[in-house]
Amino acid sequence: MELFEPYQVEPYSDFSQKSVQDAYKEALESVRGQLGQDYPLIIGGEHVATTHGWLESVNPCHKEQLVGRSAKAKRKEVERAMDAAWTAYESWSKLPMSARARALVKLAAVLRRRKFELSAWETFEASKSYPEAEADVAEAIDFCEYYARQALKLTGPLETYDYPGEENTSFLIPIGVGVVIPPWNFLLAILVGTAVGPVVVGNTVIVKPSPDTPIIAQKFMECVAEAGFPPGVINLVTGADADIGDLLVDHPRTRFINFTGSLETGLRVHERAAKLQPGQKWLKKVYVELGGKDALIVDETADLDMAADAAVASAFGFQGQKCSALSRLIVVDEVYDALLEKVVERAKKLSFGPAEKNNHVGAVINQKAVDKIIGYIENGKTEAKLVLGGGRGDDAGFFIEPTIFAEVPQSASIACEEIFGPVLSVMRARDFDHALELANATVYGLTGGVISNDRSRLERARREFHVGNLYLNRKITGALVGVQPFGGFNLSGSNAKAGGPDYLRLFMEMKTVAERY
């Protein structure tokens, strides 16, 4: 008998049903009653108070509303977390794989039981609409379920040839303590996936969430405790980037770094981690999953309604703050005007306002993001033609209207740089060849898509569109764990392929034993 049932992607709720909406609103009200609390660090299973002040997490839709405060760590707490994680490693790494896999499945069950509650926290902390928040929690559950099953495949000896007179065995072992550094945009899913992947194969971790979203990390730690993980296997250290970012990356006892975030920070992490520190005994393994400048090509054979739906969903879902979000819509000349009209028409209909009301487009994460995005919009006005939006919403939150620029030239900053907001550049291509050339003219290579009814072009895109995740005749966001392993090419990162069959192997090393008899 198998230990677990076959893996299945966590289903989504149908938010068109009133009863489902009501259940979500109930969760929002329950969470609203818990806002504004203080949370300590969690190290070695203990709640650790600090004297360095607090990270304040606010609701992006209502800047004045405090979601909660999480203690700030400094060097002393980082050292304590290192000690706790290495102590836990002693026993956790020696457990059978099945015991650790079972812990992940228990964790998935706890997350599932608390699905709407956790989603509601995301609505408050990151301005996610109901379906966007639920999809993030579902993805976190999927990571636990999928990695639990994948881990069981890594237990036996690896396939090698026999040699006369000797017993030769090669097998995989865990590597040690890692630092997990997720971004704020998939605030639970990426945090959970990048932590439990290494953990299930025997490593222990220190999780350092984004200072913008520490409270969901605290809620995750409640689930970790409820699922019965031994103390010190997963530690939570919240703090300012300036205080603990470099410290965790540089630390001589950090064995690996599992980072997801921007190109700029990722390059810094990559470079610093390469430097040997006094007392360090290994080469750090470093995975950096970074940004994108994702393009969707639409040609003259495409179903333009389907293309417009795909473009609007990919560009404006979660305010365009997905690494996979569409930011360059590249349209073949013949259908450019017709498609642009349909895209603008649909984008105009998107509701815009607070996430608690389940608007399609809510607030962006913080003031820094507002300033950056507005800066690009101002650039865009000089580089291309503004056809929709460009303004701010209610000043109570970090709102930016869904914005579309047309006739965007390849040289424009809004055609080249990651904006990470609700801003879409629509570019005109002479023909499909030119469209493909424009799509590949980027330093990134994360997601991309083609909407076409021409079989030979779809096949060509498979070969020549250089992105880690290519989508044909559908939206370009929403990769599913175990179904569409996720990770990009070029400066989009190390291509770790989260939710893929090779992921766990990245956090193990192979030992080979040869015995002559």
Which residue ranges make up the site for ligand NAD (CB under 6 A)? Answer: 181-186, 190, 210-211, 241, 245-246, 249, 260-262, 265, 268-269, 289-292, 323, 418, 420, 446, 486, 488, 492-493
Nearer to ligand NAD, 59 or 447 (CB): 447
Nearer to ligand NAD, 139 or 401 (CB): 139
Could you tell me the smallest distance in angstroms from the CB atom of residue 460 to ligand NAD?
25
Backbone angles phi, psi at 264, to 5 degrees: -60, -50
Could you tell me the smallest distance in angstroms from the CB atom of residue 75 to ligand NAD?
14
Among this protein's residues, is 323 annotated catalytic? yes
Q: Which of these is catalytic: 144, 145, 323, 417?
A: 323
Could you tell me the smallest distance in angstroms from the CB atom of residue 182 to ligand NAD?
6
Nearer to ligand NAD, 269 or 508 (CB): 269
Could you tell me the smallest distance in angstroms from the CB atom of residue 329 to ligand NAD?
18
Structure tokens that stand for 367 in this block: 């003031």
Q: Which residues of 419-455 are buried (b: 16+ CB within 10 A; e: fewer)?
A: bbbbbbbbbbbeebebbbebbeebebbbbbbbbbeee
Is the CB of residue 179 less than 8 Å from the CB of residue 257? yes
Could you tell me the smallest distance in angstroms from the CB atom of residue 488 to ligand NAD?
6
Nearer to ligand NAD, 210 or 359 (CB): 210
Is the CB of residue 104 less than 8 Å from the CB of residue 147? yes
**Distance from C-alpha of 21 to C-alpha of 13, rounded to nearest angstrom:** 9
**378 class by beta-carbon count within 10 Å (0-12 exposed, 13-18 middle, 19+ buried):** exposed
Nearer to ligand NAD, 115 or 322 (CB): 322
**Distance from C-alpha of 188 to C-alpha of 112, rounded to nearest angstrom:** 13
Could you tell me the smallest distance in angstroms from the CB atom of residue 444 to ligand NAD?
9
Q: Whose structure tokens read 């919240």?
A: 238
Among this protein's residues, is 289 annotated catalytic? yes
Q: Where would I find the H helices in 291-431?
A: 304-316, 333-348, 367-383, 413-416
Q: Which residues of 228-254 are buried (b: 16+ CB within 10 A; e: fewer)?
A: ebeebbbbbbbbeeebbbebbbebebb
Structure tokens that stand for 356 in this block: 């608690």
Q: Which of these is catalytic: 10, 125, 145, 289?
A: 289
Is the CB of residue 203 less than 8 Å from the CB of residue 88? no
Other CB atoms within 10 A of residue 381 CB: 13
CA pseudo-torsion sign 467, 469, 470, 475: negative
Nearer to ligand NAD, 147 or 184 (CB): 184
Backbone angles phi, psi at 90, to 5 degrees: -50, -50
List the catalytic residues. 289, 323
